[in-house]
Amino acid sequence: MVKRFLAVVLTIIMVFGAVNIEAAGIITETMTDMSREVQHYFYTQLATATMTVSRPSETNYIVSHISQSGRAVNVNLYLTEWGTWNLGNMTITDGYNEKVVIGGATDWEYVFRVYNPISDTLDFVGGNHGHERLNSIVFKEGVTGEVFSLNVGEYRYVSRLVIEENTTVKVSEVDYLDFANVKRVYTIVGDTVNLDCMVEFTRDIKMALSYTTMACINKDFSRFCNFEGMAFSKCEPRGTSSNMKYGNVPASVCTLNGDDPTATVTVGIYSEKDMTDNFSNREKTFIWDMSENYNKLYFSKYDMTTLNTIRAGEVWNFASYWKVNLQ
């Protein structure tokens, strides 16, 4: 299978001169019957795209890729109040109108609900919920490995953007109880954002109802959710909300579309064991019709039925991706 994949890649290199993301559509059909490891390798190590990364302000970076159709896919990385850099909006634009596909007002990366022994409560921490501090962040041109930095107002071209961010997650801001070090590696190539996380626990912790990848998707692009062919859900249109959750099935890949034909969205995970505990909890993968404007997709590791103990020294490895498919 790997040999077959490499043969396809070599053929595309001969035709396109590089494993450009525009060729991904050709490769995708071959990847459907390949291992997730090979697919992950392609998107993080081989695929390229012509992109611009800019820093319009002290608190924002924007990565932009103009597709062959002339429309641009933009990804925003923003500085949180507590000091980490998180994924923000993922948008598409034709140069005149910009549409938010995935929103940054809530989590993409992960969130852990942990027990605070001092307050005797369960609290969400990490990702967009804070209680996390930045230790370091590095931007790299992923093809050459060159490390670079940008001042406000500067930009540069890249073929594959790699962002390595190291953080420490705490039980709370007040009590300073660190419990895990996280290495996030974002790989952005054109219309696809990949995230690899290594979570190393530094103290024993109790955890429940935790999510390891999410996507808050504009209803115009997410009314209909296909859970890897196992289930199909229809959410309310823009302007209304059922506040219901749909799915709860063991799906590692979800495809979403809505009333706007401009694009569809694919969200997937590569590591079922670490990210969902092999779908052993009752929530599994689901979509929440959360508001009048957005639906939110979740991949869950634990639900609220059990308080799980994670020991110091335990390591989890997450790998996920979000892809906007321009139509």
**DSSP structure string for 38-94:** HHHHIIIII-B--EEEEEEETTEEEEEEE-TTS-EEEEEEEE-TTS-EEEEEEEEE-
Comparison of pLDDT for 95 and 149, the residue scoring more: 149
Give me the chain's average pLDDT, please. 90
pLDDT at 15: 46
pLDDT at 33: 43
pLDDT at 81: 93
pLDDT in tens, 201-211: 999 999 999 99
Burial class (CB in 10 A: 0-12, 13-18, 19+), 149: exposed
pLDDT in tens, 171-196: 987 777 899 999 999 999 999 999 99
pLDDT at 229: 83
pLDDT in tens, 65-100: 999 889 999 999 999 999 999 999 999 998 889 999
| Architecture of the 48-326 domain | Distorted Sandwich (2.70)
Confidence class for position 19, pLDDT limits 50, 70, 90: low
Q: Is the pLDDT of residue 4 over 60?
A: no
Residue 73 structure tokens: 């896919």
The full set of domain ranges for the chain reads 1-47, 48-326
Residue 181 structure tokens: 């070090």
Q: Which of 125, 207, 211, 210 is nearest to 167 (CA)?
A: 125
pLDDT at 132: 94
Amino acid letter, residue 9? V
Residue 64 structure tokens: 């932009």
Q: Going by C-beta distance under 8 Å and a sequence separation of 6 or more, which residues neighbour residue 238? A: 219, 220, 259, 292, 293
pLDDT at 260: 96
pLDDT in tens, 229-258: 888 999 999 999 999 999 999 999 999 999
Burial class (CB in 10 A: 0-12, 13-18, 19+), 250: middle
Average pLDDT over residues 299-324: 96
**DSSP structure string for 273-292:** HHHHTTTTSSS-EEEE--SS
**Among 1-5, 17-21, 56-60, whose mean pLDDT is lowest?**
1-5
pLDDT at 176: 75
Q: Which helix (H) or strand (E) holds 8?
A: helix 2-16
Distance CA 297, CA 309 (A): 26
Contact indicator for 218, 256 with CB cutoff of 8 Å? no
pLDDT at 127: 87
Confidence class for position 134, pLDDT limits 50, 70, 90: very high
Q: Is the pLDDT of residue 14 over 60?
A: no
**Among 21-30, 241-250, 273-282, 309-318, whose mean pLDDT is lowest?**
21-30
Q: Is the pLDDT of residue 13 over 80?
A: no
Average pLDDT over residues 159-168: 98
Distance CA 71, CA 114 (A): 42
pLDDT at 174: 74
Comparison of pLDDT for 177 and 161, the residue scoring more: 161
Percent of the chain with pLDDT over 90: 78
3-class SS shares of the chain: helix, strand, coil, % to 5: 15, 50, 35
